[in-house]
Amino acid sequence: MVKTALQSFTQNVRSQWGPLTSELAGFCQRQMEELLEASPREAWLAALNANQPASEELYRDADHGFVLLAHAEQAGLYRPPHDHGRSWVLYGIQQGEIEMGTYARVEGEDGDVRLVKRNTKLVRAGEVQLYLPGDIHDTRCISDSALLFRFTERDLRVEDRQHRRLTRYVEQNGIWTTEQTSA
């Protein structure tokens, strides 16, 4: 039986899984690039294209905990600056274009936190973007629609809701800051 691109991705990542290293991140990035080349005739990808889910889990590894999700986004959808706690994350663009900005967190002498934007990158179909633990970024769908895959080292819902390790930023008077600072 011929493996789908999704099966190849998950099996290959499982076979090399371990603690975060440059080699593992690079390996997973190459695997994501191959996943992005999947034929739209593969049943799992055809279903995503037909259903356009806001979020759909494609794979969850019971042994290692990593998760692969698909997200269909529409023009203008903006996700404000955030980090992924202790997790590292890969975004792969299957269709469309997503603008991704990166930020540095700066703390003033008074303890107030603000973000300083480093850069903005246009990530196109077939491209992958890596964010390491603590990296802060935002996303905006700039094409009519986009389909992206998000691979996370661990379940971010658990990181966020149970452990409170993700940080989301809010805009106050033109400055991105933490919710605690803006109160």
pLDDT digits (tens, 9 = 90+) for 122-131: 999 999 999 9
pLDDT beyond 50 at 24: yes
List, in order, residues 6 or more apart from 56 with CB less than 8 Å away.
48, 69, 70, 71
Q: Does residue 17 sit in helix, strand or coil? A: coil
Q: Report the CATH number at residue 13.
A: 2.60.120.10
Q: Which is it for the CA torsion 46, 48, 51, 56, positive or negative? A: positive
Stretch 69-96: mean pLDDT:
94
Confidence of residue 181 (pLDDT cuts 50, 70, 90): very low
pLDDT beyond 60 at 183: no
Share of the chain above pLDDT 70, in %: 91
Looking at residue 130, what is its pLDDT? 97
| Domain count within the chain | 1
Q: Which domain holds residue 144?
A: 5-182
pLDDT beyond 80 at 158: no
pLDDT beyond 70 at 163: no
Contact (CB, 8 A) for 98 and 148: yes
Looking at residue 182, what is its pLDDT? 41
Is the whole-model pTM more than 0.75? yes
pLDDT beyond 80 at 150: yes
**What does the buried/exposed string (b/e) look like for 10-34 if buried means 16 or more CB atoms within 10 Å of the residue's CB?**
bebbeeebeeeeeebeebbeebbee
What whole-number distance in Å separates Cα of residue 156 and Cα of residue 63?
Answer: 16
